[in-house]
């Protein structure tokens, strides 16, 4: 959880810092600076935040694998009934033909 929180916090700091910088330096206005900051921060986070992103991804993957391991497979009764109907239909075709 710490890895995911750290990565999210670093991305928010990057967006906020770029937004403030673009808003004070450029004449584009508050909202356009915000959109530009989000775009630039997204691109920069791919390059600059590689280690925190990889750690968060490993944490997400481990969590997903644990969840899948504990999940009980469910039977789809509708699919089972449909399979039975198809098998009956195929059986009756074979008997006729």
How does pLDDT run along the chain (97 residues), one tens digit per residue?
Answer: 788 899 899 999 999 999 999 999 999 899 999 999 999 999 999 999 899 999 999 998 988 888 888 877 777 778 888 888 888 877 766 555 5
What are the domain boundaries of the chain?
Answer: 2-72
CA distances from 71 to 45, 64, 67, 94 (A): 34, 11, 6, 40
**Reported pTM:** 0.62
Q: Could you tell me which residues come within 8 angstroms of residue 30 by beta carbon, excluding any fewer than 6 positions away? A: 23
Q: For residue 95, what pLDDT is reported? A: 56
Query: What's residue 42's pLDDT?
Result: 93
């Amino acid at each position: 959880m710490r890895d995911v929180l750290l990565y999210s916090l670093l991305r928010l700091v990057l967006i906020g810092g770029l937004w403030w910088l673009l808003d004070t330096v450029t004449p584009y206005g508050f909202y356009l600076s915000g959109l530009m900051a989000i775009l630039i921060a997204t691109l920069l986070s791919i390059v600059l935040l590689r280690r925190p992103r990889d750690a968060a991804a490993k944490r997400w993957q481990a969590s997903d694998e644990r969840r899948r391991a504990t999940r009980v497979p469910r039977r789809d009764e509708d699919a089972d009934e449909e399979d039975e109907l198809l098998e009956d239909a195929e059986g009756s075709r074979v008997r006729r033909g």
